[in-house]
Amino acid sequence: MKVGTDGILLGAWTSVNNARRILDVGTGCGLLALMLAQRNKLAQIEAVEIEQAAADQAHENVQRSPWFARVTITQASLAEFMAVAAGRNDRFHLIICNPPFFPTGTRSPHSSRSRARHHDSLTIGQLMTVAGQLLASHGRLALIVPHDLFHSTVRLAQQAGLFLSRHCAVSSFDGKPPVRDLLEFTNGQPAECVSERMSIYKERGMYNLPYRELTREFYLESTSSFRNA
């Protein structure tokens, strides 16, 4: 479960304004932590990962990056991390997560991949509870979910005292139904919720201009898929 479109979308779309302390939950290979470090030159970022192999890979990626001094990788379960964070009275301005969102279906024979894809180690409800406890005043939680989980995710957030402030419905192609929702919640009631739509592809093999503009900093300019439309 390394770099994928969901992670690129989330890391590029999430607002990093006024986010001096950031928590990346379930960092995997460290993608989101590194993207946010690239976008916010002042942020201190903690990234927690339950799988030892993934945490080791994230640590190696961070150490090879220009932002190694501002990103900390912790190998721990979320419960273990929360116990430590509570002892330090930690609060974060932004929590970001590309959560596991396949509660049913065929499991991978590899436990690490299964954990990354399913609710075995983290549910959306648990994530909302964590955010409610660890977010600073007017802090934000950003995540991406399948479109069919949009309404249930918003309800779980409201139960935890979090309110939807930004929303982007993502389709694969123009005119097609959404397949993903980018969501940003705040623990203070927003004046309004800013909503938008985006499609990834103009046609098969060719990215749409809004997607290219959003993610331009994170792809090699020479890639053929970013050729002009």
pTM of the model: 0.88
Least confident piece of the model among 4-8, 66-70, 169-173: 4-8
Domains of the chain are 5-221 (3.40.50.150)
- The whole-number pLDDT of residue 19 equals 97
- The whole-number pLDDT of residue 2 equals 67
Average pLDDT (84-104) is: 83
* Confidence band for 38, pLDDT divided at 50, 70 and 90: very high
Q: Please, is 227 exposed, middle or buried when counting C-beta atoms within 10 Å of its C-beta (0-12, 13-18, 19+)?
A: exposed
Examine the pLDDT at 200 and tell me if it is beyond 90.
yes
Q: Is 100 helix (H, G, I), strand (E, B) or coil?
A: coil
